[in-house]
Structure 1
Amino acid sequence: MKVSYQWLQEYLDLDVAPQDLAEKIARTSVDINDVYSLSDGLKKIVVGEVVQCENHPDSDHLHVCQVDVGEEEPIQIVCGAPNVQEGKKVIVALHGARIADNQKIKRGKIRGVESNGMLCALQEIGFSDKIAPKDYEDGIYFLPDDAKNGDPVFKYLGMDDTVIDTDVTPNRGDMLSIYGNVNDIAAFYGLKSHFKEVAIKEEGTEKTADLLQAEIADTKIAPTYKLRVIKGVKIAESPLWLQIRLWNSGIRPVNNVVDVTNYILLKYGQPLHSYDYDQLSGKNFGVRHANEGEKFVTLDGDEQTLKANDIVVTVDNQPVALAGTMGGEGTAVSDDTTTVALEAAIFDPVMVRKQARRLDLHSESSMRFERGINPATVETALNEAAEMIKELAGGTITAGIVTGSEAPAVDTPIKLSLAKINHVLGTSLTMEQVTDIFDRLAFAYTVDGDDQLTVIAPARRWDISLAADLYEEIARIYGYDNLPSTLPTMTRNRGGLTPRQRFIRASRHDLEGMGLTQAISYSLTTVEKAKQFQIKPLAEPMKLDFPMSSDHVATRMNIVSGLLNDIAYNVARNVDNVALYEEGRVFLPMGDERPVEQEHLAAAVTGQMVANSWNKKDQPVDFFQLKGIVERYLKNMGIAGKVAYVPTSDRPEMHPGRTADIMVDDQLVGFIGQVHPQTAKEYKIPETYVFELNLELLLTAPKIENEYTPISKYPSITRDIALLVDDEVENATIVEAIKQKGGAYLKDIHLFDVYAGSHLPAGKKSLAYTLTYQDNKGTLTEDQVNAAFDKVTAYLQDKIDAEIR
């Protein structure tokens, strides 16, 4: 909230600089975004009076003005504003002046005519388009007739005021009003508040109840709903003092009726809404849930399509406003309005928040309804607004208030113990110090003996309901700086990582060591991408009720889709060689229960993992290169079980001929392969290979303990074998067969040649292996190696029908 320092001074005898006050608020109440004045950075901007205005001799839209700026002679200024006229007091930027955006004004000639300054619109001296009055959108601003020529303009426009822009947390909705700020500042400075309420004077004999009725069927959505009527009003521009209050608070002045409702909103934190009574379709007000698909045109002219969870204010069951959010175009106060129906209410904060967020209609009113409204000042704000409208717009206030519902203002009694207060805060406060704090907060209390007291938290502080809340109030008013500093009591436990943490950290280091770069992608994605690339497919992901965007509506059930988004981002920026991995959690829905969170590890590679070189051919990544990374990773992690890669065509997002499930002891732990070309096209990426592993299963899998094995000092012996086998026979099958009959001395099996084509029978291929034999305790003999090699040969012929070449 933008808090005016001068407005605060009306109710408090402040003797501190605005910057010091802001610093105190930040340390005691709420955060501060900024402290500024609208005049910051401006100079030599004064009041001027246009004493003569003539058309420019060489232009059909420029005017040559003689302007009295309090000097001996008027100065000549060329102005292009369409509304410039003689006799008006205007804003003048003199030669050498600094205006908005640090622009400097200099003397010059405009189409041959000398100009010694500039006549300014409000926007040109720093006002934003959001707060500058619409009546002056296309021209310069006119100052009051009593403004003195030559005086700086800042005091006439409230630009000499200092604005403290507070960042109010959701629990301190009371600080979204001058009333709440005054109470808080008075408490921590120990000041007496002079807050003023304006009493209402009902002079009309006509009863409000004869003009309107209100009936709230569901008091949950509108716990309090009240109406008043002011007849015979005349819509006009608000007085300057009221406009200054509004634009210094970041609100655009509109007219004397709407401005009063916004002024009361700022003063009490109570949103109000004004209706043109004559535009209402009936007399019976209500509040209800919107009908699914119901249409409604809001004040901004946009047609809204409502849902059943939205809430609307109705007249004869027809919507006239989005409750707590925005009024309707058809019943808005206009220049022709003569009778005003004024509404003050409390609406359900959760429903207002959801409605404003869904429709993207966040307003000053919705911000306050979302954080809570003081039930004790609803009627006070309504009465004061009616009285102000009568004073500024004329008219008569009808007798009485129409009440559709009314939630009582309930104070909350809370019992405290002095000993517990001191124990929690680490202080040595006396009962007199504690009661003094509650006196400053204006909280009633009763003292029971030397240690006990009962504090009454007033309805205006609806954030206080527990003893812990009062401990916080005592601490902040006493001063956080005054609380003693103590070291926490700690046990002397030896630090270290858990086995799970060590495994995850080692996984990251291992993949980075193999040339992959860590990526961190969003845990939220689209429903379609969440359902892709699952290790064990599930039906639907967990969806958010109120997603931030259409691309982040569901929790991920895989990591690969996020990595493919990262690859697409890089490829779109001409980064063709990308090798990424990510370790993180996926969220697997379990019906009505809380979803299961699993730790997964995934990688995605496209292009080349080894950069181009003069002495090496280009070698794009392929299935086997990525498979080698997975094999090395599983070996480095000490996975003791049998690892197998089983071809599969059951994964629709993966290439059916280049995809395999990863099995450890016949348990599915992940998959590896090429992304299906159609899926790659949808992601706008080139040929890409991926894998994903369920780390939860790998964490619990049996591990090989680290052991030292000395390198043999005895020579090795190798044997080569070439096999003619069917095309369907896999390398893994042959390697497993060789291991079974290789004997204790077989140390390594290396495939060094694969051939298929001419000179071989159809449907056959040739695979050539080198088998390495070595004994750690002695030198092998030819007979020992030949005997072991013959067993392998015989087994291959018998087991897989291999022909030895």
Structure 2
Amino acid sequence: MLLPIKWLRDYVDIDENTKTIADKVTDTGSHVESIEDRSEGLEGVVVAKITKIERHPDADKLVICTMDTGSENLTVVTGAPNVFEGAIVPLAKVGAKLAGGVKIEKSKLRGIESDGMLCSLEELGYDNSVISKEYRNGIYIFPEGTEIGQDALDALDLNKEVIEFEITPNRPDCLSIIGMAREAAATFNTKLKEPEIKIENEVDNISDYFKSVEIETDNCSRFYSRVIKDVKIKESPLWLQNYLMSAGVRPVNNIVDITNFVMLECGQPLHAYDLEYIKTKKIVVRMAKNEEEFTTLDNEKRILFDSDIVITDGEKTIGLAGIMGGLDSEVMDTTVNVLLEGANFNSECIRKTSKRLGLRSEASMRFEKGLDPNTAKIAVDRAAQLIELISAGTIISGNLDDYKKRLEAKKINLRADKVNRLIGFEITKDEMAKLLNRLEIETEIVDEGIICTVPTFRPDINIEEDLIEEIARIYGYHNIEPKPLEGKLSVGGRSKLRNLEDRIKTVLLAMGYNELITFSFVGKSVFEKLNIKSDDNLRNAVEIINPLGEEFSIMRTTLVPNLLEILANNEHRGNENVGGFEFGNTFYPVEGQLPGEEKKLSFGFYDLGDFYFLKETLSKIFWKVGVKDLEFKRANVTYLHPGRSAEVFYKGESFGVFGEVHPEVLENFSMKKKAYVGEILFEKLLKLAIPNYLYKELPKYPAVKRDLAFLMDLDVEAYSIEEIVKENAQGILEDFNVFDIYTGKGIEEGKKSLAFSMTFRADDRTLKDNEITAIVNNVIEGVATKLGGKLRE
């Protein structure tokens, strides 16, 4: 937001220099980005009149101009194409300094001496974006009546500084000169002088020129309009051009310039329509039709949708509401009658349309933040007043105003004790009221505190705390005496879940795994890469409304694809013995609420071991929690090998899966090596976790180990054998371990050889052979009868 200091002083009397103003308003919460002195480095440029033009005798493209500076006549040679006799132009005399460090010296051009140089606005330091099209490639021509001989910097107000402010999104009222003047007035405790709107001469009646305004959508709260007849389209007066250019806006013509002037002054965007092109003599505001085509002022064809608000004449679209007008209804040199619009639109609709079309204008920037609909009438009437002031047209009496739901001022009760408690110092109710009054917040002091009436142009003030912030900032944060913090001390600590996470990390790090951290955003393509079926619950993902890209379009439901991506990247770079783990949240949608979160633990590797190393990893994780008696059953997971994967249970409840990655999935991730991964529901472990470990004495008695090998069907699970061993172990089984599964030569089709070891130990005695033999015989018999296993010799 650019605030020309000259424009600010029109509305508030502050007898301070620009630096002091910037410092003070910064103290009250308005952040100053910079102060620009546009005249810095410029001097020696005067306003002069071309009294005579002669052709250069030795150059076809040069002319010799006789210049009247008010005090002397000078000769200047120029090649500018737009000069003419009688033109009033900026003249840089010999010794003058221009933008970019250029210094003018007396010179000869093809034998003719030149006493200076005629200047373009760019040479006077103006940015090309604020120079009107007719002067971009030529000398600037002052409007008729500009005083000859005066300093050109004075004539163009270039010697007046411009303050640039950073305006936060919650303060749309500050995106205007009057809004910032109000802040300055409150800061310096002086009165704001808003312009008095008065039209001297109104003729006819609007009903003679225009029929009606109809709003057909709730996304437009107000449409206020007036008609101007006998419009004379021409260049704006110099003062108007100066105001616009100093605020960063390019002059176009008097009518368009006045709408831009009022937008900058009041913060309310306006639009002027050529009445000739509104054949029906009515305005209808509606939502666009899907794939409706519309050509905007910039001559670009836009495809609209039913989320876009449009202005129509009931038959054709003439404007894209809050963003840009239509090409067919713009004000042109031939325009005679004009309809002025001041409307209010839904900020969210404007923001989405502007972003989708990549079309951001000064108007949309303001509408996006939410404007006060009560400003619409003020702005249109102010524009009509200025049109009359510069004799650009005749104002028609009356207006058309469709105001759906009037916005009223909010009333908020403010408690004085709460103000003092939050700010940290004592201030009386009278002082509070005076500070708020400086911001045009009306106050009524009552026993309990203050009843505050908040003006409609302050949408950011909704609760008591907002008012307290206003009091504090206008009082001045720098004036508040610092005090030590007060509060009760509390003992911090990690949550139980975090402590459990740290305990498990020690196990995984000791086994050779590295901790990983990955993004919570993934793409839908991960489901295809994992061969996830279409009806699998893993596909029920939370979608991102505004994703950074397709690969970050949803929230992850599993950590496995992130883990496999890292393993694949390491394999591609030739790294060996790679293993990693991650504690991370997964997400799932909840109807009508924020997404749910579930913490999981994934771990995996290649070149670190095999399936049994992965199983050992999982067993040690559970051991660290305090759980030993796990059950393992064949898993049915699409991304794991069907014969080399398992699901882990404890007391009948599933806690996760692990196994070798399916060859097709490895191919999807461009991996050549075998990879092993596991994923468990980490949060479910918390309810099993023991707070501390109980240790017992080392065993006094020796262990007895027995190995058995059985020939059995391929689909028999090792877990079934372990169950039989436990049933017959009489409480002395210390360890059970499958150490070999073999299929191939010597084993008939559909069968496998499974070998396992059993370790027995008693706490109170040395075991005898006959005890162990009896248990082993029972195991052999149980495996044979229940599982059809045949003991191998």
Fold shared by both chains (TM-score > 0.5): yes
Q: Aligned pair count?
A: 775
Partner of 1:189: 188
Equivalent positions of 1:593-632 (< 5 A) are 595-603=595-603, 608=606, 619=607, 626-632=614-620
Tell me which residue corresponds to 1:470: 467
CA deviations over 1:262-315 (Å, ceiling 9, x no partner): 211111111111112222232011212333343322233343333333322221
Q: CA deviation at 1:794?
A: 5.3
SS in structure 1 at match of 2:251: coil
In the TM superposition, what is the alpha-carbon distance from 1:491 to its structure 2 partner? 4.0
Alpha carbons of structure 1 residues 587 and 272: separation in structure 2 relative to 1, 3 Å: same
Is 1:202 the counterpart of 2:190? The answer is: no
1:691 is the counterpart of 2:709: no
- Contact map agreement 1:523 1:586 (CA 8 A) in 2: no
Shift of 1:623: 5.2
Q: In the alignment, which of 252, 255, 260 is matched to residue 253 of structure 2? A: 255
In the alignment, the residues of structure 2 paired with residue 540 and residue 91 of structure 1 have an alpha-carbon distance, to the nearest angstrom, of: 72
Q: Deviations over 1:619-646 (max 9, x none)?
A: 3776555444433323323335524242
**Does the aligned pair in 2 maintain the 1:521–1:563 contact within 8 Å?**
no
Q: Look up the SS of the partner of 1:378 in the other structure.
A: helix
* C-alpha spacing 1:467/1:604, structure 2 compared with 1 (3 Å): same
Instruction: Report 1:407-486 matches (<5 A).
Output: 408=406, 410-448=408-446, 452-483=449-480, 485-486=482-483
Partner Cα distance (1:213, 1:604) in 2: 74
**Cα pair 1:215 1:405 within 8 Å, conserved:** no
- Give CA-to-partner distance per residue, 1:603-630, whole Å, 9 cap, x none: 565xx4xxxxxxxxxx377655544443
- Alpha-carbon shift at residue 217 of structure 1 (Å): 4.5
Q: Is the Cα–Cα contact under 8 Å of residues 174 and 460 in structure 1 kept in the other structure?
A: yes
Q: Sort the Cα spacing of 1:491 and 1:422 in 2 relative to 1 into closer, same or farther, 3 A.
A: closer
What does 1:185-584 align with in structure 2 at a 5 Å threshold?
Answer: 185-203=184-202, 205-218=203-216, 220-392=218-390, 394-405=392-403, 408=406, 410-448=408-446, 452-483=449-480, 485-486=482-483, 490-507=487-504, 510-511=507-508, 514-523=512-521, 526=524, 537=537, 540-543=540-543, 554-561=554-561, 581-584=581-584
Cα distance 1:526–1:723, how it changes in 2: closer, same or farther (>3 A)? closer
Q: Could you say what secondary structure the match of 1:223 adopts?
A: strand
Amino acid at match of 1:494: V
| Residues 547 and 553, structure 1, Cα contact 8 Å, conserved in 2 | yes
Amino acid at match of 2:184: I
**Is 1:672 the equivalent of 2:658?**
yes
Distance 1:766 1:778, change over 3 A: same
Distance 1:632 1:705 in 2: 16
Q: Decide whether aligned partners of structure 1 residues 191 and 743 sit closer, same or farther in structure 2, where only a CA change above 3 A counts.
A: same
Of 245-254 and 376-385, the range deviating more from structure 2: 245-254
CA distance in 2, matches of 1:152, 1:778: 112
2:10 match = 10
TM-score scaled to structure 2, two decimals? 0.80
The secondary structure found in structure 2 opposite 1:12 is coil
8 A Cα contact 1:640 1:702, kept in partner: no
2:687 match: 700
CA distance in 1 between counterparts of 2:88 and 2:578 reads 68
Which residue of 1 is the match for residue 626 of structure 2?
Answer: 638
User: Which amino acid counterpart does residue 209 of structure 2 have in structure 1?
Assistant: L
CA contact (8 A) 1:214 1:402 kept: yes
1:467-503 per-position Cα deviation (integer Å, ceiling 9, x unaligned):
4443332222222334455556544543323323323
- Equivalent-residue separation in structure 1 for 2:505 and 2:654 (angstroms): 22
1:326-350 Cα distance to aligned partner (Å, 9 max, x none) = 2222212234433321101222334
Deviation at 1:23, TM superposition (A): 4.6
Q: Secondary structure at the match of 2:220?
A: coil
Task: Say if 1:374 and 1:459, in contact at 8 Å, map to a contact too.
Answer: yes
- Secondary structure, counterpart of 1:242 in structure 2: helix
CA distance in 1, matches of 2:39, 2:620: 64
CA contact (8 A) 1:444 1:457 kept: yes
Contact 1:237–1:255 at 8 Å: present in 2 too? yes
- 8 A Cα contact 2:560 2:679, kept in partner: yes
Superposed displacement of residue 161, structure 1: 1.9
Task: State the shift of 1:212 in Å.
Answer: 1.2
C-alpha distance in 1 between matches for 2:211 and 2:569: 60
Deviation readout 1:704-760 (Å, 9 max, x if unpaired): 952223444766565554444444444444455445545655544455555443344
Q: Distance in 1 between matches of 2:264 and 2:711?
A: 89
Go from structure 1 to structure 2 and tell me whether the alpha carbon gap of 1:518 and 1:400 turns closer, same or farther (over 3 Å shift).
Answer: same
Q: Cα distance 1:232–1:559, how it changes in 2: closer, same or farther (>3 A)?
A: farther
Residue 191 of structure 1: how far off its partner (Å):
1.8
Question: What is the distance in 2 between the residues matched to 1:91 and 1:708?
Answer: 97
Structure-1 separation of matches of 2:91 and 2:507: 70
**SS of equivalent residue, structure 1 residue 427:** coil
1:37 maps to 36
Does the aligned pair in 1 maintain the 2:8–2:181 contact within 8 Å? Answer: yes
Aligned counterparts of 2:44 and 2:723: Cα–Cα separation in 1: 91
| Local SS of the residue matching 1:441 | coil
Distance 1:621 1:642, change over 3 A: closer
Distance 1:36 1:184, change over 3 A: closer
Farther off after superposition, 185-194 or 490-499: 490-499
- The structure-2 alpha-carbon separation of the partners of 1:710 and 1:140, relative to structure 1 and needing over 3 Å to count, comes to farther
Structure 2 gap ranges (5+): none
Shift of 1:416: 4.2
Verify the 8 A CA contact 2:583 2:601 in the aligned structure 1.
Answer: yes
1:616 is aligned to none
TM-score, with length taken from structure 1:
0.79
Contact residue 521 and residue 556 of structure 2 kept, 8 A: yes
Q: Deviations over 1:412-443 (max 9, x none)?
A: 44444544543454432224323322442333
How far is the alpha carbon of 1:382 from its aligned partner? 0.7
Once structures 1 and 2 are overlaid, which stretch shifts more, 567-576 or 350-359?
A: 567-576
Which deviates more from structure 2 when the two are superposed, residues 47-56 or residues 426-435?
A: 47-56
Aligned counterparts of 2:666 and 2:55: Cα–Cα separation in 1: 70
Unaligned runs of 5+ in 1: 609-618
Q: Contact 1:225 / 1:404 at 8 angstroms: preserved in 2?
A: yes
Letter in 1 for 2:471: I
Moved more, 295-304 or 254-263: 295-304
Distance 2:572 2:257 in 1: 51
Do the aligned residues in 2 keep the contact of 1:19 with 1:35 (CA within 8 Å)?
A: no
